[in-house]
Chains A and B, each alone.
Chain A
Amino acid sequence: MDRGDYQFSRADFLRGARMSLPILLGYAPVGFAFGVLAVNAGMSPAEAGLMCLFAYAGSGQLVAVGMLMTEAGAAAIIMANFIINLRHLLMSAAVSPYLRGWSKKLQAVYALEMTDETFAVDIVRFAEGRVNRDETLGLHVVSHLFWTGSGFCGALFGNVIGDIKAFGMDYALAAMFIALLVPHFRIPRRMLAALAGGVFSVTFIVNGVDQWNLVLATALSATLLMFLPDSWWLGAPGDKNDRSKDK
């Protein structure tokens, strides 16, 4: 409620930290690949680490370094990140009822470390009534630090492993998109949105709209398909049975 009665529980924190293990397994290869690619794109290891710390968003970061390699400007990269991370609006809204008992300050910290992975774990825990603060913080802080660590290590030791292509590391981004897409395919309207997004995106790209294709294709697809009749309205936001995670 208020900061006065906040007592830190180490046991809760450590329990949360242990829960982060599956998340860490997913983070390790992607974080490392991010670090390697960041250095290839001209960033220093410190900058790669800073990005992990302050712009904590796997797909957004990988898109950023990918765009840096094509000499894109900061504005276009930031705009692309805005669109890619819009999905967190919905996740944040989804967890808000459960965190009402937290102070605004703690909620602000929570938002700092909300990723697709932590959301997927949290929403299941929260629905079961497990809203423990320190357990949640343990899960989040350890995940965030591990992500930063893997990115930093990738940036530092990327040159040691030589050609990243031999390990398929330049495919990390595409593979991650596939992993994130799969859960959406169970819901017809989302599958249609994916198809539309893909078709529009390719159409824009081959016609020379190379940097804004993402924003335009996404907005166009979502706007057209939001008017699908309600029989297609499966997996509505707020539907308790919908546990399709985004990452």
Chain B
Amino acid sequence: MERANLSGLGTVHAYTRVVRPPAGFEAPYLLAAVDLAEGPRLFAQLTDLPAAGGRVGVVPAVAKNGQPAFGFAPRP
């Protein structure tokens, strides 16, 4: 096992619009399964849908109870 740096870039494998949120969140929001270029799949919010097959990249986001976290946004 070794540490690896992630580019934060990936593609959206699947997404849904969450309308009934868990406690601490405001809905609706998009939740996506993002496949990072380096392999791992992450689940996080998506600011907007990318064009079909388009890339997304990590952006700072406000998450549960106002805590800073991350999400994904379309990248050109």
Partners in one complex: no
